[in-house]
Amino acid sequence: MMAQVRGFASAPYFTSLVTVFLLLAMLAAGGAAYPGFLSLQVVFNLLIDNAFLLVIAIGMSFVILSGGIDLSVGSVLALATMISAWLLRSAHWPPVAVIAFVLVLGALFGAAQGALIHYFKLQAFIVTLAGMFLARGLCYLISIESITIEDPLFVAMSQTQLELLGGFISPGALIALVLLGLAIYAAHYTAFGRAVYAIGGNEQSAQMMGLAVGRTKVLIYALSGLCAALAGVLFSFYMLSGYGLHAQGTELDAIAAVVIGGTLLSGGYGYLAGALSGVLILGTIQTLIAFDGTLSSWWTKIVIGGLLFVFCVVQRLMSIGAKNNQ
């Protein structure tokens, strides 16, 4: 019986289940403490306000599953907002062309980082840290001031409300949920997804199995860059501006959401669906503090830091349990 309990606790889906139970407990506590907290629109607002973070967390999930890290995503998001705003306002590009250009640019930026990491055997932390500074610096080459977006398509996407179950969600939230569904399918039902897990489990073994490790790693970071650029587009819809200071620290929030969602930092274990529960937990913490009205917003960081510490300890215990079961 004890062996079965240890085996369950060491399973890769264990932390994902813990995250879901934690989310439900937080929602129940909020509903008991604050009238209206469990209204459907409050839950939908969690998705609306954090759609861009969910998109970044999806890309970050693939990176962490492969055993890597990407610190550049927040800066790429900001760069995407700046490029979009400048092209719309100064170059007068059509909005569809702007969105396509930004997405391609984000994917190429990520692919370049992946190529440096794999072919030059550089640490992902250092390469993506350099990418973070580079992308953030490029923002200020465009403008040191905020650039307002007045394009009709962007304004329409910002103001549109899609009715759902008596409430409404934004187009950005819908895009994020569709992307999550596609990512879950890609991670768990395609050769690319199996290669990502194999590389995260043991890169040398993956090479010996004949997997295209180099190509897969480049694609992983290209996907992360693409998701960061798409998050920048959604953030542009949300804020209707481009600014070099947008999304500071978002890369850390994304890593926190992925880890809290049950993906192991060591790579190879985790579920893409956990990114959603991780993002919702971060959003729920912020909402609880907003409903309370007496706590500083810095309590959000304190609680998230505590949760990260707990989940890292749980992951370590899971790793020890997995070794003992072997």
Neighbouring residues of 308: CB distance < 8 A, sequence distance ≥ 6 = 256, 259, 260
| pTM, full prediction | 0.92
Per-residue pLDDT, 14: 62
Percent of the chain with pLDDT over 70: 90
How high is the pLDDT of residue 12? 52
267: left (phi over 0), alpha (psi -120 to 50) or beta: left
Q: Phi and psi for 148 in degrees, rounded to 5? A: -75, 140
pLDDT at 2: 44
Question: Which pLDDT value is given to residue 318?
Answer: 62
Q: What is the structure's pLDDT at 13?
A: 58
Residue linked to tokens 């650039």: 147
pLDDT at 108 over 60: yes
Task: List the structure tokens of 161.
Answer: 């409300």
Burial of 19 (0-12, 13-18, 19+ CB in 10 A): buried
Whether residue 3 is predicted with pLDDT greater than 70 in this model: the reply is: no
Positive or negative torsion for Cα 246, 248, 251, 252: negative
pLDDT tens, position by position, 298-322: 777 788 888 778 777 776 666 655 4
Q: Is the pLDDT of residue 83 over 90?
A: yes
Give whole-number Cα distances, 180 to 61, 74, 231, 274, 299, in Å: 11, 19, 13, 10, 29
pLDDT tens-digit readout, 143-202? 999 999 999 999 999 999 998 888 899 999 999 999 999 999 999 999 999 999 999 989
Among the listed residues 234, 229, 230, 241, the one whose alpha carbon sits nearest the alpha carbon of residue 172 = 234
Residue with tokens 């830091």, as numbered in its chain: 305
The C-alpha atoms of residue 260 and residue 281 are separated, in whole angstroms, by: 8
Apex CA 141: angle with CA 123 and CA 226, to 5°? 50
pLDDT of residue 5: 44
Closest C-alpha among 120, 106, 101, 105 to residue 70: 106
Residue 8 confidence class, pLDDT cut points 50, 70, 90: very low
Rounded to whole angstroms, the Cα distance separating 194 from 186 reads 9
Average pLDDT over the chain, rounded to an integer: 88
Residue 309 is predicted with a pLDDT of: 81
Q: Which of 10-19, 63-72, 83-92, 250-259 has the lowest mean pLDDT?
A: 10-19
Task: Select the CATH number that applies to the domain covering 9-325 from these four: 1.10.3470, 3.30.2310, 4.10.830, 1.20.1410.
Answer: 1.10.3470
The ranges assigned to domains in the chain are 9-325
Compute the average pLDDT of residues 17-40. 86
CA 2 to chain centre: 36
